[in-house]
């Protein structure tokens, strides 16, 4: 994974949101946010802004951290999304015209229910919840992100995986026309990731569709991306088009690219260094250029929820 010098870091700001959509309107809101053209006023009460349409009926969660979230600007301009370039500011510049409607998600493999679903139908059965989570990138920077998402456990259960389903594999869209990074061999495209079924059904795992109460911006993985906060950020795959229930451990992009550096598990662990740098501390984006690096927490501070999943696993070997 490339390491870039930090670009300009902006002070944190917490935005209060005012214009909300009902959950039923999410679909229409997303259709606007995902498109390039927008006719002002077309949706009556909905007032889309530069930041994308607001969502409503978003529940709160006891799993949220009370640490201050990073600013909208930090979260949406300092990104890793190699399909749109390897620079931290490439995704927000290059993903603006990315079409996230129509969007189809295919579910296949060892489950009673499989098939292809329009994004709207896929998320409709599930409650939207705000989850304010720490995000720790393997490159040793971190943020706090107020995601809006649906419970991955609920999604997994709804497809009724069979006893053969030991893992859940995820795939990003493959579209080199829209995604300029896919015309270069930085990674084996499409980006793929995976979790054990126990990890996928842990209460912390979500599929995010929003940030700061608004439709998720393209550069953050629109229209739907995984968020597993106790793992390094590269596990949280963006712009998902396929979810597969598998018997065998699925291949994962960074592990294919550099197996000595990036394992399947990728649990945040300050005791296991990356071969090329220490993982003991992290740089909080937005903290200011003079701020000390802060200590990295095992499982990114989510040990209470997830440590039991790894009690029989040698975390040095299964990094």
Listed ranges 13-21, 61-69, 95-103, 237-245: which one lies at the site for ligand MTE (CB under 6 A)? 237-245
Do the strands 128-136 and 58-59 form a parallel or antiparallel pair, or are they unpaired? parallel
234 interacts with ligand MTE by CB under 6 A:
yes
Query: CA distances (Å), 91 to each of 3, 163, 266, in order?
Result: 15, 39, 23
- Nearest-angstrom CA–CA distance, 124 and 259: 38
Tell me how far apart the alpha carbons of residues 61 and 41 are, in angstroms, rounded to a whole number: 33
236 lines the binding site for ligand MTE (CB under 6 A):
yes
- With 0-12 CB in 10 A as exposed, 13-18 as middle and 19+ as buried, what is 53? buried
If one asks whether residue 202 binds ligand MTE (CB under 6 A), the answer comes out as no
Q: What is the rounded CA–CA span in Å between residue 50 and residue 96?
A: 11
Q: Does 80 bind ligand MTE (CB under 6 A)?
A: yes
| Of 70, 71, 205, 220, the one binding ligand MTE by CB under 6 A | 220
Q: Which is nearer to ligand MTE, 83 or 282 (CB)?
A: 83
Euclidean distance between the first and final Cα of the chain, in Å? Answer: 16
- Interface characters, 109-148, with ligand MTE (x: CB under 6 A): --------------------------x-x-----------
Min dist. Cβ of residue 308 to ligand MTE (A): 25
From the list 45-53, 198-206, 236-244, 278-286, the region that binds ligand MTE by CB under 6 A is 236-244
Structure tokens given for 133 = 């989570």
Pick from 172, 201, 202, 269: which binds ligand MTE (CB under 6 A)?
A: 172
Minimum CB separation from ligand MTE for residue 6, in Å? 14
Tell me which residue of 88, 67, 87 sits closest to 9, measured CA to CA: 88
Is residue 83 close enough to count as binding ligand MTE by CB under 6 A?
yes
Q: Is 147 exposed, middle or buried (0-12, 13-18, 19+ CB in 10 A)?
A: buried
Helix (H) or strand (E) holding 256: helix 253-257
Indicate which single residue of 20, 26, 82, 262 sits in contact with ligand MTE (rule: CB under 6 A). 82
Stretch near ligand MTE under the rule CB under 6 A, chosen from 59-67, 79-87, 117-125, 271-279: 79-87
Q: In the stretch 257-296, what mask flags binding to ligand MTE with x, by CB under 6 A? A: ----------------------------------------
Q: Which of 194, 233, 250, 286 binds ligand MTE (CB under 6 A)?
A: 233
List CB contacts of 312: < 8 A, sequence separation 6 or more.
none
The token pair that represents 275 in the structure block: 């071969």
Rounded to a whole number of angstroms, the minimum distance from the CB of residue 72 to ligand MTE is 12
Using left for φ > 0, alpha for ψ between -120 and 50, and beta otherwise, residue 288 falls in left
Looking at the Cβ atoms of 17 and 175, the one nearer to ligand MTE is 175
Which positions touch ligand MTE (CB under 6 A)? 79-83, 135, 137, 172, 191, 220-221, 233-234, 236-239
């Amino acid at each position: 994974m490339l390491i870039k010098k930090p670009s300009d870091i902006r002070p944190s700001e917490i935005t209060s949101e005012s214009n909300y959509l009902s959950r039923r309107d999410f679909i229409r809101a997303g259709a606007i946010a995902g498109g390039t053209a927008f006719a002002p006023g077309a949706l009556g009460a909905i007032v889309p802004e530069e930041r994308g349409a607001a969502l409503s009926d978003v529940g709160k969660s006891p799993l949220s951290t009370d640490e201050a979230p990073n600013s909208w600007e930090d979260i949406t301009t300092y990104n890793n999304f190699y399909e749109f370039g390897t620079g931290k500011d490439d995704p927000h510049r290059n993903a603006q015209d990315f079409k996230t409607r129509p969007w189809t998600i295919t579910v296949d493999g060892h489950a009673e229910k499989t098939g292809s679903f329009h994004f709207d139908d896929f998320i409709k059965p599930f409650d939207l919840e705000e989850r304010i989570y720490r995000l720790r990138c393997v490159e040793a920077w971190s943020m706090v992100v107020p995601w809006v998402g649906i419970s991955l456990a609920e999604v997994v259960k709804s497809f009724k995986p069979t006893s053969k389903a030991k893992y859940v594999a995820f795939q990003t869209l493959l579209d080199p026309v829209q995604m300029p990074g896919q015309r270069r061999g930085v990674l084996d495209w499409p980006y793929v990731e995976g979790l054990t079924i126990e990890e996928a059904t842990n209460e912390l795992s979500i599929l995010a569709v929003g940030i700061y109460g608004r439709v998720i911006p393209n550069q953050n993985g629109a229209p739907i991306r995984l968020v597993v906060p106790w793992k390094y950020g590269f596990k949280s795959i963006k712009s998902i088009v396929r979810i597969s229930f598998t018997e065998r451990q699925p291949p994962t992009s960074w592990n294919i690219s550099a197996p000595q550096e990036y394992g399947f598990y990728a649990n945040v662990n300050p005791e296991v260094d990356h071969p090329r740098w220490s993982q003991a501390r992290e740089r909080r984006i937005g903290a200011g250029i003079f701020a000390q690096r802060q200590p990295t927490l095992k499982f990114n501070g989510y040990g209470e929820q997830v440590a039991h999943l790894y009690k029989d696993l040698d975390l040095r070997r299964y990094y």
